Structure 1
Amino acid sequence: MRNTLLLHDFTSKPDPIEDINKSLKAIQQQLLSEIAYKQDVISAKDKEIATLKEELRCSHEAIEILEKKIQEVERKNEGNKQLNKKLINEVVRRQQDIEWYKRTYERRSFLGMLKEKVLKR
């Protein structure tokens, strides 16, 4: 009977090693769940990074296209400027011609007009 009492006393006391093991398992579970959460966060961030990289690539392509269009527009504008200068010069020459005709035919003396008509016949 004495043996049973000793055995009974031994089993009724909490075992410190078991308590430590339970605490370690609880800590391990907590760490594993935290690791799983952080891996999910990392995966989400990786997806976000991939999306942003794709958007950045698309933005660079759009910028290149727009730069090419800007160069084309600038080239056309330069051509238009040259054409405008040419047309302005042409208008100035035509205005000079008109002024010459005005001076010649509208402001000429009466005797000069008679002389010209006589010479034409």
Structure 2
Amino acid sequence: MYSVIENNEDKETELNAIQESLGKIRAYMEKEIAFKQGLIERQEAQIHQFRTRLEEKEVVIQRLEGQLTECRQTNEGTRQLINKLLSDISNYQKDLEWYKRTFEKRSLLGTIRQKLLKR
């Protein structure tokens, strides 16, 4: 399986070759580790940036929800005011119709008689 090295010189040459290969492997591994460490650091920075953006968006969402609630309340108040005004208009129209029936459509004699009976 393994060849036995008879000669010390061959043994030392082989050890040097092994040391050189190990050195290349170590350099490659260190380079790979440095690359991956840089990649990890960039990804951590990106994650931090995304978290910051997420927090900013959450603040904007909360502000918009507050504005939406305020708009809904204002809308409800406006709706109630419009309903009140429509009711007032209806009442005024009824009053106008009563005045028209009383003073325009009734005869002069009927109007005088009604005024005299009220006294």
Q: CA deviation at 1:12?
A: 8.3
Q: Deviations over 1:26-79 (max 9, x none)?
A: 010001001001111111111100000000000001111111111111111111
Paired residues for 1:32-71 under 5 Å? 32-71=30-69
Which residue of structure 1 lines up, in the alignment, with residue 22 of structure 2?
24
2:65 is the counterpart of 1:76: no
Q: CA deviation at 1:11?
A: 5.3
Percent identical among aligned pairs is 35
Alpha-carbon distance in structure 2 between the residues aligned to 1:80 and 1:48: 47
Q: CA deviation at 1:106?
A: 1.3
Tell which deviates more after alignment, 67-76 or 102-111: 102-111
Q: Which amino acid counterpart does residue 106 of structure 2 have in structure 1?
A: R
Tell which deviates more after alignment, 109-118 or 81-90: 109-118
Q: Deviations over 1:63-111 (max 9, x none)?
A: 1111111111111111111111111100000000111111111111243
In structure 1, stretches of 5+ residues that fail to align are: 1-8
Structure number with higher relative contact order (C-alpha < 8 Å, ≥ 6 residues apart)? 2
Q: CA deviation at 1:14?
A: 7.4
In structure 2, stretches of 5+ residues that fail to align are: 1-6
- TM-score where L is the length of structure 1: 0.81
Between structure 1 and structure 2, the one with the greater Rg is 1
- TM-score where L is the length of structure 2: 0.82
